């Protein structure tokens, strides 16, 4: 009895270990993606002080990031299908490294624009790459855990970036040092991915890329609008606009949930 179950137990343990490894690595990669959403914004006050830019001009940098990322997501899904997830992931992380380096030596708006463009280019492939790797390599019974870690890690990337950027700026007295360390952080994550060969050589990502491109294109509109409102002193309008967007998002999720529940109920009744 023991000898019969031992190989199965060993196999299950190995599968669990491999699933955890894959989920952890993809979570780390996705966290870096969201981290680089905020490579520039946390230090906008320093850029205003040094270069005299308006919030509208700085908001345009964010728009450039999300336009490139949004269009790139739709295209990168097809690229993943053609050349494989591993190559695309390495390219994305390399773009983050370059973005941090370019931002650290920027002497004007063109340099910051180039850094935003490189960061957007790096951000573009992550959803097509991440979700297809999870679907391809994680056991079906743990796929929900993989998706959950993926989502949480993105939020942790958002939460970490302002603390990281502001902390290094405060410690060194230089916003350029913070951007440089951001690039070095991406280099470290890239090294981890290369050493662990985190991605399979092929995956199917065009659906994920197309779906998530709309999200980024929505972000690209919000940044200059809110920047213009800040320049006009309409801070309360930003609050109410954000609250309205949140309410609409929750309401939309509720409508979808009701539809899913109704469909499941109809299927159960039909089966009965």
Cβ-based neighbours of 53, under 8 Å, separated by 6 or more: 47, 109
Cβ-based neighbours of 138, under 8 Å, separated by 6 or more: 19, 22, 23, 146
Instruction: Mark whether 248 and 227 lie in a shared domain.
Output: no
pLDDT in tens, 131-185: 888 888 888 888 888 888 988 998 999 999 999 999 999 999 999 999 999 999 9
Instruction: Mark whether 139 and 254 lie in a shared domain.
Output: no
pLDDT in tens, 46-55: 999 999 999 9
Provide the domain count of the chain: 2
Instruction: Mark whether 271 and 191 lie in a shared domain.
Output: no
Taking the whole predicted model, whether its pTM rises above 0.75 is answered as yes
Instruction: Mark whether 211 and 222 lie in a shared domain.
Output: yes
pLDDT band at 203 (very low <50, low <70, confident <90, very high): very low
Q: What is the pLDDT of residue 231?
A: 80
Instruction: Mark whether 126 and 248 lie in a shared domain.
Output: no
Residue 247's domain comprises: 236-272
pLDDT band at 202 (very low <50, low <70, confident <90, very high): very low
Instruction: Mark whether 173 and 46 lie in a shared domain.
Output: yes
- In angstroms, rounded to a whole number, what is the distance separating the alpha carbons of residues 117 and 103? 11
Taking a C-beta distance cutoff of 8 angstroms, is the pair 152, 27 a contact?
Answer: yes
Instruction: Mark whether 227 and 135 lie in a shared domain.
Output: yes
CATH number for 105: 1.20.1250.20
Q: What are phi and psi of 63, to 5 degrees?
A: -60, -40
- In angstroms, rounded to a whole number, what is the distance separating the alpha carbons of residues 79 and 128? 9
Tokens read off for 248? 């609409």
Instruction: Mark whether 62 and 180 lie in a shared domain.
Output: yes
Taking a C-beta distance cutoff of 8 angstroms, is the pair 19, 165 a contact?
Answer: no
Instruction: Mark whether 261 and 126 lie in a shared domain.
Output: no
Instruction: Mark whether 218 and 255 lie in a shared domain.
Output: no
pLDDT in tens, 105-127: 999 999 999 999 999 999 998 88
Instruction: Mark whether 241 and 224 lie in a shared domain.
Output: no
Instruction: Mark whether 145 and 199 lie in a shared domain.
Output: yes
* CA atoms 131, 132, 133, 135: torsion sign: positive
Helix, coil or strand: residue 147: helix
């Amino acid at each position: 009895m023991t000898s019969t179950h031992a190989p199965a137990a060993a196999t299950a343990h190995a599968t669990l270990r491999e699933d955890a490894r894959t989920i952890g690595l993809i979570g780390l990669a996705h966290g870096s993606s969201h981290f680089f959403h905020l490579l520039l914004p946390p230090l906008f006050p320093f850029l205003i002080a040094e270069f005299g830019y308006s919030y509208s001009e700085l908001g345009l940098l964010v728009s450039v990031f999300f336009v490139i990322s949004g269009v790139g997501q739709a295209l990168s899904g097809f690229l993943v299908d053609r050349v494989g997830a591993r190559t695309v992931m390495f390219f994305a992380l390399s773009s983050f490294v370059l973005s941090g380096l370019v931002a650290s030596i920027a002497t004007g708006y063109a340099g910051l624009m180039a850094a935003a463009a490189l960061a957007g280019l790096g951000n573009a492939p992550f959803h097509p790459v991440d979700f297809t790797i999870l679907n391809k390599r994680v056991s079906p019974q743990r796929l929900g855990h993989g998706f959950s870690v993926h989502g949480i890690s993105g939020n942790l990337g958002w939460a970490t970036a302002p603390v990281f950027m502001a902390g290094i700026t405060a410690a060194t007295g230089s916003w350029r040092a913070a951007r440089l360390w951001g690039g070095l952080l991406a280099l470290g994550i890239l090294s981890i991915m290369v050493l662990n060969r985190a991605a399979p050589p092929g995956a199917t990502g065009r659906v994920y890329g197309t779906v998530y491109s709309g999200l980024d294109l929505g972000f690209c509109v919000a940044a200059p609008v809110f920047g213009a409102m800040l320049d006009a002193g309409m801070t309360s309008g930003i609050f109410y606009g954000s609250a309205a967007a949140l309410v609409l998002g929750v309401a939309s999720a509720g409508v979808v949930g009701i539809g899913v529940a109704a469909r499941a109920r109809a299927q159960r009744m039909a089966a009965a």
